Structure 1
Amino acid sequence: MRNQSYMRSTAALSLALLLFIFSCKKTDSFSTLNTGGGTSTPTSVAKPKGIFSSSGSTSATVLNHAESRGALIRLFWKDIEPTEGVFNFTALDNQINSVKAAGKKYSLGILAGGIGSPDWLITQHGAPYFDYLFQGQTYKLPLIWDATVLTYLGKLADKLAERYNNDTSLLLVYIPQMTVNGVEGHLNGFNQTAFANAGYTETKWINASIQNAKKFATAFTNKALAFEVHDLFNSSTPASSIITNLWNDAALNHRVGAAMWWISGNNTYQPNIITLLENFPGDIYCQVIDRSDHTSSFPGGDYSKVFEQAKRIRARYIEPWDYEFGISAWNTLFHDFNIYSDTLKKY
């Protein structure tokens, strides 16, 4: 009897211990749930997937295309905040309303840099800058590592988030950068020595870019975000350091991924960044480098190589140019990528 009683007590204790262990098991914070318009994590952050257009937010051709799930909306910072602290969202809201009326989603890209930043940042606040040429015009690039520049980028983030953070049609926010065109992460055409004389170092660039990205991510608490990557002066170190830091920051809950706005199917342009993205564990958002009829931009003139490369780096999302939605040549290709993205399990 004593042995039987002991065995019953031991079994009961073991069962209780097992129940306790399983009750304490943490939920897998990286699991996903397909929702059609995006992928939701346990924190209910939707992430876009599949085919979006890189423009055409007011185009019926783009928005009514069967394989288009949404469109990127782009606007200059200077057009949203032409006067310090005075914001005008009319142009942005008009595009958003057009997308919503078609029952589609949108991504948001606010361009900073020399091309998109407001003049008052320099003329009224004395932000340091670097002169550069872009498409034959001279621009002044506010320096990202300056405290004043970071402060006003932060205020922009807060104002945008105040208005759009709870908009369920917004699925992706591209992080504005102090670069040539204000959203892509390149300084193409810059003289490295001259930029170093203006204060550039990789460390300062990395730290300031991370600070800016985290500000946008903490402002947009309900959104997925992306940081676009390029080599800087033939170095992939800044891109690697920035996207790795952002993806591994537990406080950001794997919401900040990498963007590649130059996917072409080629491996010869920025091969180190391509390798970086192939090994990147996080979300990747792509934009095609050119229109399909500009065949020299694609290996052997084959536009389909873009989508082969997107799958190879396990990108979840891609933006062809709006031109592609007005022709029928790529409907099957787009449909196939949408199916692929719906079943992609990366983490």
Structure 2
Amino acid sequence: MSGSHQPGNVPPLALSLGDPAGIGPELIAEAWFQRRSLGLAPFVVFGGATILHDAARSRGLDVPIVAVDSIGAVDSALFERGIPVLSHEDADYTPGQPSLAGAQLALHSLTEACRAVHESEASALVTLPVAKSQLALAGFGHPGQTEFLAQQCGVSERDAVMMLAGPSLRAVPLTVHCPLAEVPRRLTVELIIHKARIVARALRADFGIDRPRLALAGLNPHAGENGQMGSEEIRIIAPAIAALREEGIDATGPHPGDALFTRRARETYDVALAMYHDQALIPLKALDFDEGVNVTLGLPIVRTSPDHGTAFAIAGEGIADPGATFAALRMASECAARRARLQV
């Protein structure tokens, strides 16, 4: 382990920089600038000292950068002096203009930040937005950061579950980055049971919910209308729910997707399990866009990310809303603290 922490002290959060041309660096700077009013835990950023300095200036912020040689050097006192940055990796800062050099820095930052958390040098990982097309040019062969982090942690991709969480809703898409036409073929009883178990376990361990309530959406309009509008609910979703309930997991459904996310319905469950990507993300973003957090469940580490993209079009203009980044930092700290208590 690099450096050391006194007993009882919580290691800092590890932040990956994200694409330097996006809004990630300026949101990191904003988070540090508002650290006291927000009560944020100390964090360390992997690389990009010049980028962070310039990004802070783009928002009119005076944010010192503190180069550190080890994560163990980062404590509350040092964090008060400025943003701790580990690694001398850097790149030119040109807001809104992604580059190969920037993508390479983003990938290196992500890799090293993940390693630090996996080796318990840092308490949790917060990843800032990347551009998948740019990362592909840098040799990144994964659909997204979630799949990459699973590999880095030695976990099967099928065991890494994406949950979107905000003040109004938690939602999990059971199928993610695939064409809508493929969803019925990908849905199986086993898939639903497997991912629901991971979700229930994570809500207990990381979110402190003793008996999580899982509400499963139907795939078809009106949840299939008793087979009149599709048979997936009868053949796949309902049997999976029955099996989960036999295991003692509080699972209900299949619920019609057009009614599952109303205010009254949301009071009846802790997480909604959706059958496809947009069924989960549209309501989450409609309700909690500026506070939405992407949480990866099923990893041996805590990982969160603001639930938005690089926003190249507004990078450097000082208008990007930092709310989701603040929420991702808070959630990472809270989940890491719960895991730490369970290990005592």
TM-score (norm 2): 0.29
Structure with larger Rg: 1
TM-score (norm 1): 0.29
